A and B are shown apart, each in its own frame.
Chain A
Amino acid sequence: MTVKTRYFVIVSLLVLVVGLGTGLVAYYVGFPATAFFSGNAPDELRYMPSTASVVGYVEVREIMASDLRQRLHKGIASQAQDDGKRELQELTGINYETDIERIVACFDSAQSADNSGLILAKGLFDTVKIEALMREHGAQVQDYKGKRLIVADHFGRNNFSNFDRAGRPAEDASFALTFMEPGLVGFGSTALVRQAIDLHASGGSSAATNDDLVAHMRGLEGGNAWVVGRMDVLRERAKLPEIVANQIPPITWFSVRGQVDGGFQARLTAEGRDEESANMLRDVVRGFLALAKLQTSSKPEFQRFVQSLQLGGTGKTVSLSLDVPAQVFEALGALMPKQPGEQKPQ
């Protein structure tokens, strides 16, 4: 055996042994995919609890700049939209059209109903102004592990009130805001914001280490807004009457991926518990599609939308793709009652 051949054999065997060894360890220990690939999952997941059952993501700046949004803003209830934007800006100092780059939100079913939401927004924020405005409206500043936590007991329409309308203990419904790092603000239930600060300070088990969740997010790449979540957990949480719960096909995971540009394209995916439940769900959707086609046969403005609905998926997965052109939104806008002084859309 020549020296070259010896090296070839050694290198080949080394690659094989190391590869198979790593694979074997991963097989038995459960090597997370995230160890090798971070993919396009947002960094904000590191601050969200691993028990998050729903995670949503919105590229706010991209959507605000989209052609569809511009047309909708001009066409539908522009006055109401402007009022809402001004109110939020007066209350928090945040202009969602220009200040926020993207939002990642989660719903944690392990928390109580009033403490289950957390929103992380990335963008350009005037921290001093936001804090001053919130304090002005009744919020209090606390220190938690070196972070300034701006806590309000109740998020009212025009101010942060110290009273809970339902008469519950204020702690359960309290709302907090903190600046996790420059350009990243976290707000939501005080418990989850504190947990996010804990995760930021010391790391640990977070949504980013929830392999199932991250794996489902990977299928959503390419959209500027998406939601992924566990339907079975939500259903348990909702405590539906048995008669209603029995009518819902047993879905484990669901996801919605949307792309807003000149129109709106989306793909809704549901993962059934088994193939039988997926087939059941497929039949239900097929029935609804047939009904929608029947209902819109005399309405040409909605026909393109209905025709774009495509049922797909194999095995346990059921998917529904749709493409809503801007004209459909405009047609819907035209059907909405007009506010005094608002012009009819062009």
Chain B
Amino acid sequence: MLWSRRSVFLGLLVGAPMVMAFAIRMVAVTRGLPVINGAGLSGPTLFGILIWLLFVRFIVPVLGVFYGTSLIADEVDDKTITYLFTRPVPRSAVLLGKYLSYLACVVLLVLPSVVVVYFLVVPIGGHIGESFPSLVEDLGMIFVGLASYGAVFAFVGARLKRPLIVGLVFAFGWESTVLLIPGYLKRLSVAYYLQALVPHVMPQDSSISLLLQVFQELPSVWVSLLSLTGITVLGLWLAGRTVEKREYVLEQ
């Protein structure tokens, strides 16, 4: 899983925020951060923007889609699933083991990147110590997000024949759209619960975001945590059940 061509691409994806943070730091040292509407942009605000826009809304779903859908689909494509299923263990245990290895890989890939970005960006006009609790919250949120997205896409990968396209449509079509639609539809997305975990990461400096916050309905932290745990457990259970019952026909 870790040294596939996909991982190299995803490694570059995770490395991009670090490069971006380094560039921001260089610009800040030489020319200072840009002033927007007369207000100097600070490191903690910039870190919040990077976490929200790059990690939560892009990198976490992308890693979930690419790795989660490939847990079973790659074995089917490589025609190696037979070797796994002939072992004297339940099929769902194989899936669970692969899911845990996915979680270990992506956590070790993403969390260090967040830490590096934090140490590069936050000291620009901010305090490392003061912002440390928010870093811990961000790391926790990203871990929960990776676990939830991974479980959902593990099910998609186990159930569908072309899971990548469906996964991408779900992550960047469905989730982005329902968050903007008023009503209860947004409760059928992972991002809705994820954004409620750490609301401070959302940029709060513009009047538009202020308006969004006023009209935005966010669940409480405990409801979000319970919902995301529920999504993870349900996703894994459905994926395990699918793997147990489905007959995988390998193309010759």
Which of A6-14, A233-241, A326-334 touches B? Answer: A6-14
Which of A15-23, A50-58, A287-295 touches B? Answer: A15-23
Chain A residues with a Cβ closer than 8 Å to the other chain, count? 41
How far apart are the CA atoms of A109 and B202 in the complex, in Å? 39
Q: Is the CB of B128 within 8 A of A23?
A: yes
Task: Give chain B residues whose Cβ lies under 8 Å from the Cβ of A257.
Answer: 38
With A8-B108, A36-B123, A222-B32 given, is the CB distance from A15 to B116 under 8 Å? Answer: yes
Q: Is the CB of A4 within 8 A of B40?
A: no
Task: Give chain A residues whose Cβ lies under 8 Å from the Cβ of B111.
Answer: 12, 16
With A218-B42, A221-B32, A222-B35 given, is the CB distance from A16 to B129 under 8 Å? Answer: no
Does A247 belong to the interface (CB within 8 Å)?
Answer: no
Q: Is the CB of B39 within 8 A of A31?
A: no
Q: Determine how close the nearest CB of chain A comes to the CB of B111; give it in whole angstroms.
A: 6
Q: Determine how close the nearest CB of chain B comes to the CB of A104; give it in whole angstroms.
A: 17
Q: Is the CB of A8 within 8 A of B39?
A: no
Does B2 belong to the interface (CB within 8 Å)?
Answer: yes
**Which of A4, A9, A26 is in CB contact (< 8 Å) with B108?**
A9
Does B132 belong to the interface (CB within 8 Å)?
Answer: yes
Q: Is the CB of B129 within 8 A of A27?
A: yes
How far apart are the CA atoms of A162 and B179 in the complex, in Å? 75
Report the nearest B residue to A257, measured CB to CB: B38
With A221-B33, A314-B210, A321-B38 given, is the CB distance from A39 to B133 under 8 Å? Answer: no
Interface residues of B in 18-55 (CB under 8 A from A): 28-29, 32-33, 35, 37-40, 42
With A27-B132, A215-B125, A314-B210 given, is the CB distance from A319 to B108 under 8 Å? Answer: no
Q: Is the CB of A319 within 8 A of B116?
A: no
Report the nearest B residue to A1, measured CB to CB: B2
How far apart are the CA atoms of A40 and B136 in the complex, in Å? 29
How far apart are the CA atoms of A15 and B100 in the complex, in Å? 21
With A22-B128, A26-B128, A31-B127 given, is the CB distance from A16 to B40 under 8 Å? Answer: no
Q: Is the CB of B125 within 8 A of A39?
A: yes
Does B126 belong to the interface (CB within 8 Å)?
Answer: yes
Does A5 belong to the interface (CB within 8 Å)?
Answer: yes
Task: Give chain B residues whose Cβ lies under 8 Å from the Cβ of A84.
Answer: none
Q: Is the CB of B108 within 8 A of A211?
A: no
Interface residues of A in 22-38 (CB under 8 A from B): 22-24, 26-33, 36-37
Task: Give chain A residues whose Cβ lies under 8 Å from the Cβ of B210.
Answer: 314
Q: Determine how close the nearest CB of chain B comes to the CB of A84; give it in whole angstroms.
A: 32
Does B109 belong to the interface (CB within 8 Å)?
Answer: yes
Q: Is the CB of B126 within 8 A of A33?
A: yes
Interface residues of A in 242-289 (CB under 8 A from B): 257, 267
How far apart are the CA atoms of A8 and B135 in the complex, in Å? 22
**Which of A8, A20, A221 is in CB contact (< 8 Å) with B115?**
A20
* Residues of chain A having any CB pair with chain B under 8 Å: 2, 4-5, 8-9, 11-13, 15-16, 19-20, 22-24, 26-33, 36-37, 39-40, 211, 215, 218-222, 257, 267, 310, 312, 314, 319, 321
Report the 9 A-B pairs with minimum CB-CB distance, sorted nearest first.
Answer: A19-B115, A26-B129, A15-B112, A218-B125, A12-B108, A221-B32, A36-B123, A27-B132, A23-B132
